[in-house]
Amino acid sequence: ADTPALAVHNIQVVYGGAIEAVRDVSLEVRAGQIVALLGSNGAGKSTVLKAVSGVLDAEDGEIDKGSIQLFGRAIEKDAAPEIVRQGMVQVPEGRRLFATLTVEDNLLAGAHLRSRSELAAAKEYVFKLFPRLVDKRSTVAGYLSGGEQQMVAIGRALMSAPKLLALDEPSLGLAPLVVAEIFNSIRQLRDQSGLTILLVEQNASRALAICDYAYIMENGRVVLDGTGEQLRRNADVREFYLGLS
Ligand code: ATP
């Protein structure tokens, strides 16, 4: 029962056989928790997320040291489709919707693993989480606001009934009010559905406010970790990541 949902042990990731983007990173995501991975641009957050999602190949990247377990099972050699089948689904940075398809068809695109009978319930669940999308179900995704597109991207990931949802910078480029809305929904997913969430963010103050635990990366390494509460009280975090003093 105490097996973490995701456990990363001392991984090193290299791009092009030479550039070490991630060094000796370890982290744990416990079931039912929101765990945040924070740090500035280029710190290595996205690379860690790509490593655990099995998509490094596409960028000539590889895990050359360390191990990753998803629900107790080694996945560091698995490709993305296998990892999705094991229950971890990623919402990529920049959302990557099908711009010419409707909201509803974008959601269905995430549902290929579900039986026909589960589809209606899955859609219902997404529209309940994001009521704004109800009136837009037939709207082409390219016409939506950035916030609505992010909602569709999260909704599409939820359609495959993940056990662990990994989000890459969901707040990127969104207005503060919309960010608040998205983060409320993320919290709701944990609180009401018990979903386990790995949240990669540059917006440290928002992420620390909703996460159970967080890791902060700099230059490819984890430099600090603790509960959201501990990190919000940490003097360095306050100065360098929250802009407080
Ligand atoms: P961002 O917020 O910009 O996504 P990040 O913290 O997620 O930043 P990464 O994108 O993981 O950081 O980048 C970590 C390091 O790896 C950076 O030095 C970056 O230049 C390098 N890097 C990232 N992707 C590649 C790639 N495809 N090929 C070579 N180097 C890369």
Contact 106, 97 (CB under 8 A): yes
Token representation of residue 234: 């940490």
Per-residue pLDDT tens listing for the chain (245 residues): 589 999 999 999 999 998 899 999 999 999 999 999 999 889 999 999 999 999 999 999 999 999 999 999 999 999 999 999 999 999 988 778 999 999 999 999 878 777 888 888 999 999 999 999 999 999 999 999 999 999 999 999 999 899 999 999 999 999 999 999 999 999 999 999 999 999 999 999 999 999 999 999 999 999 999 999 999 999 888 888 887 76
CA distances from 26 to 89, 104, 235 (A): 20, 38, 23
Confirm or reject: Cβ of 13 under 6 Å from ligand 1.
no
Cα–Cα distance for residue pair 119/159, rounded to 1 Å:
8
Q: Which residues pair with 15 in a beta bridge?
A: 19, 61
In this prediction the pTM is 0.93
Contact 12, 64 (CB under 8 A): yes
For 145-211, the DSSP string reads: -HHHHHHHHHHHHHTT--SEEEEE-TTTT--HHHHHHHHHHHHHHHHHH--EEEEEES-HHHHHHH-
ipTM higher than threshold 0.90 = yes
209 Cβ partners below 8 Å, 6+ apart? Answer: 183, 228, 232
Q: Whose CA is nearest to atom 28 of ligand 1?
A: 15
Contact 117, 163 (CB under 8 A): no
Residue 167: CB atoms within 10 A of its CB come to 28
Task: Please classify residue 90 by burial: count the beta carbons closer than 10 Å to its beta carbon, then call 0-12 exposed, 13-18 middle and 19+ buried.
Answer: buried
Token representation of residue 189: 């997913």
CA distances from 36 to 42, 119, 130, 218 (A): 16, 30, 22, 14
Confirm or reject: Cβ of 45 under 6 Å from ligand 1.
yes
Q: Whose CA is nearest to atom 1 of ligand 1?
A: 41
Confirm or reject: Cβ of 39 under 6 Å from ligand 1.
yes
Contact 164, 199 (CB under 8 A): no
Q: Whose CA is nearest to atom 22 of ligand 1?
A: 21
Q: Whose CA is nearest to atom 15 of ligand 1?
A: 21
